[in-house]
């Protein structure tokens, strides 16, 4: 049967396309086999000593040893984590730049910011959910408030007289409280601080009435008798703080949340490399000494597949987008 010129060129085009795809696949496979041939950079979009920074350094040491190349941690703080996260989103997908970022820059800020300079769902690809930590809601030990329900009751009886501290606009320590406010129809003024120690200090000094920040900043003051913990933000009691009730146990099951850290790669990073990094990070997270080091900072390793992380991020967006929109206004 005679072919029209159009059909003939279409056939040639298909064969050429298949050839290109096979060549790309072969090149990708060869690249993955040769990878890594030089040090890998793991960007932390927060300062030294932050929870993501601590986790990054624990993980980097083990993964670097397993890969035979150093994994170098680089701090690129600024704009609540947006600066470093954006830098990795714009980086080449060559397998030598990765990111460890958190709830805000990876999910919440897509709703919170009017002009976010990157799209984490399009310009980054998930590697693994590295770990999480509970926020602990706490008040001064001499406040007369003994439970989370006491706090909610006090806010209802004294509208406009309660402030709370967080570790920044768009952080889970803010949005977790905003979720509590939404579910209990209460009001408190948000006062952001640059770090969890400063947020805790604000409570101790009486500048704010309560805070919900990572356990690592709260527990030392609880042990010193200066703060009273009201609830952990997670759905189950943490083995690291077994005496503190969960939000559900405190009477507020719809307010459960966790501060998490995920490792991501630029969108163009080859799948083979993402899978290899996922494998090596999961292996590191399973090591007893890694768990011990993370636990000492009140963090828990998580792990899992890239696909599980993708679904988790989508679920987080669905849960928190209404809360952020309820706050009103957008950051530029």
Residue 129 class from Cβ within 10 Å (0-12 exposed, 13-18 middle, 19+ buried)? buried
- Strand ranges for the chain from DSSP E: 40-44, 71-75, 97-102, 124-133, 135-140, 163-166, 189-192, 210-214, 227-232, 259-266, 300-301
Which band of pLDDT confidence, cut at 50, 70 and 90, is reported for residue 30? low
For range 76-92, the mean pLDDT: 93
| Distance in angstroms (rounded) separating the CA atoms of residues 99 and 287 | 21
pLDDT in tens, 246-297: 999 999 998 888 889 999 999 999 999 999 999 999 999 999 999 999 999 9
Provide the β-strand partners of residue 135: 214
Name the average pLDDT for the chain.
89
Longest dimension (CA), the chain: 92
**What is the pLDDT at residue 78?**
86
Nearest-Å Rg of the Cα atoms of the chain is: 23
pLDDT in tens, 195-233: 888 999 999 999 999 999 999 899 999 999 999 999 999
Instruction: Tell which wins on pLDDT, 8 or 116.
Output: 116
Which band of pLDDT confidence, cut at 50, 70 and 90, is reported for residue 21? very low
């Amino acid at each position: 049967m005679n072919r029209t010129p159009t059909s003939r060129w279409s056939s040639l085009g298909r064969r050429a396309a298949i050839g290109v795809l096979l060549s790309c696949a072969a090149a990708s496979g060869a690249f993955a086999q040769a990878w890594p041939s030089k040090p890998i950079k793991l960007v932390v979009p927060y300062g030294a000593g932050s929870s993501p920074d601590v986790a990054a350094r624990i993980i980097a040491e083990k993964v670097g040893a397993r890969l035979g190349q150093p994994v170098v941690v680089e701090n690129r703080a600024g704009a609540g984590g947006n600066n470093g996260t954006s830098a990795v989103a714009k980086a080449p997908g060559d397998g030598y730049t990765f990111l460890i970022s958190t709830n805000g820059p990876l999910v919440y800020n897509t709703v919170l910011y009017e002009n976010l300079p990157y799209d984490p769902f399009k310009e980054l690809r998930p590697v693994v959910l590295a770990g999480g930590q509970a926020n602990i809601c706490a008040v001064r030990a001499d406040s007369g408030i003994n439970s989370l329900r006491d706090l909610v009751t006090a806010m209802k009886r004294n509208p406009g007289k309660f402030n709370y501290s967080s570790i920044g606009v768009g952080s889970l320590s803010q949005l977790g409280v905003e979720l509590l406010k939404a579910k209990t129809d209460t009001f408190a003024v948000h006062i952001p601080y640059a770090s969890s120690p400063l947020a805790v200090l604000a409570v101790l000094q009486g500048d704010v009435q309560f805070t919900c920040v990572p356990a690592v900043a709260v527990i030392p003051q609880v042990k010193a008798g200066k703060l009273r913990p009201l609830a952990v933000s997670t759905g189950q009691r943490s083995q690291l703080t077994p005496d503190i009730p969960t939000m559900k146990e405190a009477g507020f099951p719809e307010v459960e949340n966790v501060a998490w850290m995920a490792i991501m790669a630029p969108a163009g990073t080859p799948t083979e490399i993402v899978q290899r990094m996922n494998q090596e990070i999961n292996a590191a997270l399973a090591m007893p000494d890694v768990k011990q080091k993370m636990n000492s900072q009140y963090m828990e390793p998580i792990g899992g597949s890239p696909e599980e992380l993708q679904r988790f991020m989508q679920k987080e967006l669905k849960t928190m987008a209404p809360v952020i929109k309820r706050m009103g206004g957008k950051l530029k």
